[in-house]
Amino acid sequence: MESNVIHIIYHPSTLGYAAYSRELDGMVAEATNLDELFDKIKYLLKVRIESLKEIGKDQEAENLQQKELIFVEE
């Protein structure tokens, strides 16, 4: 059974904070503060959904859009 959650793992980095997802390849970001980091991750997810729609993968985009982001400190 597929989970309706995407875990975003974040931790301190030399710039401030970094984050990645084990469930979505390529979902990585870095920012100076947590608010900026969370916004970047949400933006990356939005872009991925839009890209899937553009290439005709509507069902995959819909599935991804239904998932909840859970931010977890490492």
Judged by DSSP in three states, 49 sits in helix
Q: Which residue has the tokens 């949400």?
A: 42
Rg (CA), the chain: 13
Give the predicted TM-score (pTM) of the model.
Answer: 0.91
Domain that holds residue 30: 5-73
| Total number of domains in the chain | 1
Distance of alpha carbon 42 from alpha carbon 46, whole angstroms: 6
Distances (CA, A) of 56 to 23, 29, 41: 21, 26, 23
Chain segment 21-73, per-residue pLDDT in tens: 999 999 999 999 999 999 999 999 999 999 999 999 999 999 999 999 999 99
Distance of alpha carbon 63 from alpha carbon 44, whole angstroms: 16
- What is the CA 65 to chain-centroid distance, rounded? 11
Which CATH number do you get for residue 46?
3.30.160
